[in-house]
Structure 1
């Protein structure tokens, strides 16, 4: 029985290595087209240093140090890079031919098993090798979905600032900017107009973390309820 379990374990590990290796090859081959299309759809969005500090403190504390993957308290299982990899490789430009078939397959696997599938993490490593950190940050700022207003999607931090606060991004107070950051995790639930009390609570918690008054309670603490 032990021998059978050993063989099964080796088989599973071998299959997993082949699966991840295939993703690496596909992502590396497809990345020039997918990354180019993603960068073409982005626009320049400038953050003030103090705004960038708040954003990274919440979304990816060691963003400029890691290679695409990291496990920091309060970050969950997703870095900025891995979130972008998901959008660029799986939900961005649609590929044709064999590459398109593989893209559809990997997208279906992720949709089915996103909490267990580490294929996206391989894509994040590929993305990080080919897109600078500043380009990644700009992609996040210009392409993030931040809720809906008057039946229209709000895409990008600069547009969220105008839609929800009637200000340019650079003119937001840190509290207002924290209100935009508060929406990133769940734009519908933390909507400042539809759920103002819930949004205000999360904004206050983000400000406490940004000011060093509180720390996330472990890797998977994304709500900061103790703050």
Structure 2
């Protein structure tokens, strides 16, 4: 092995060790913050009973099919995409300065797997997710949680929405502003139709990254 290769290996090993140390610190820091984060979300306007088991299953089949099986991350379930509900909550709750792709994705995954998922029962995770989900902005103001979204887009409480309206909100979660049913009704309707085909067993995702349900397009 020549000198250049040796130097290269030393540099790579040094960078890897630095990254491991940095991410280890990030996980430790997240662990220290977790009790306060959980305490801040004990008051949950929307609970699971209000949504109902059937609609919760509809939500999970779209947003996180392996939710009850995985431990915060899921790299194998078709249609899952690169972010589980647990990771999505970590992104909202732990990255106060904003989330940027790259190393932050590694940190997000580590916190989801080793901090947040072990700290909260799945039931509590799902309930928090219902209350902090992002539904974009209306006139510059963020719409947060399913209850506020129901009031904003349908002028009714979440418990009074029908299944189709509920799925219109679920459809938004992939890209809230781009799938807003008021400003982008066609795009929202197309995604809802694909989701309904998926839920009806008429099609299925091709692979992990098929969150658009390509095979579901045009199915009635």
TM-score normalized by the length of structure 2: 0.85
For structure 1, which segment, 158-167 or 23-32, has the greater mean C-alpha deviation from structure 2 after superposition?
158-167
| 2:165 corresponds to 1:176 | yes
Change (3 A) 1:116 1:215: farther
Unaligned runs of 5+ in 2: none
1:205 and 1:114 mapped to 2: Cα distance? 30
2:104 and 2:132 mapped to 1: Cα distance? 25
Q: Report the secondary structure of 2:142's partner residue.
A: strand
Please tell me whether the aligned partners of residues 204 and 215 of structure 2 are also in contact (alpha carbons under 8 angstroms): no
1:152 deviation in Å?
A: 4.5
1:151 deviation in Å?
A: 5.9
Structure 2 match to 1:12: 15
Structure 1 match to 2:45: 43
1:68 deviation in Å?
A: 0.8
Change (3 A) 1:7 1:142: same
Structure 2 match to 1:187: 176
Give the alignment of 1:120-139 within 5 angstroms: 120-125=108-113, 126-139=115-128
1:218 deviation in Å?
A: 1.9
Please tell me whether the aligned partners of residues 205 and 214 of structure 2 are also in contact (alpha carbons under 8 angstroms): no
Please tell me whether the aligned partners of residues 35 and 88 of structure 1 are also in contact (alpha carbons under 8 angstroms): no
1:208 deviation in Å?
A: 1.1
Match of 2:204 among 212, 215, 221: 215
Unaligned runs of 5+ in 1: 92-103
Q: Report the secondary structure of 1:208's partner residue.
A: helix
Question: What is the number of equivalent residue pairs in this alignment?
Answer: 209
Please tell me whether the aligned partners of residues 48 and 170 of structure 1 are also in contact (alpha carbons under 8 angstroms): no
Please tell me whether the aligned partners of residues 63 and 79 of structure 1 are also in contact (alpha carbons under 8 angstroms): yes
Please tell me whether the aligned partners of residues 90 and 116 of structure 2 are also in contact (alpha carbons under 8 angstroms): yes
Q: Give the aligned CA root-mean-square deviation in angstroms.
A: 2.1
Change (3 A) 1:162 1:116: closer
Please tell me whether the aligned partners of residues 192 and 200 of structure 1 are also in contact (alpha carbons under 8 angstroms): yes
Q: Deviations over 1:129-151 (max 9, x none)?
A: 11221111111111212134466
1:82 and 1:199 mapped to 2: Cα distance? 24
Structure 1 match to 2:35: 32
Change (3 A) 1:2 1:52: same
1:148 and 1:22 mapped to 2: Cα distance? 34
Structure 2 match to 1:99: none
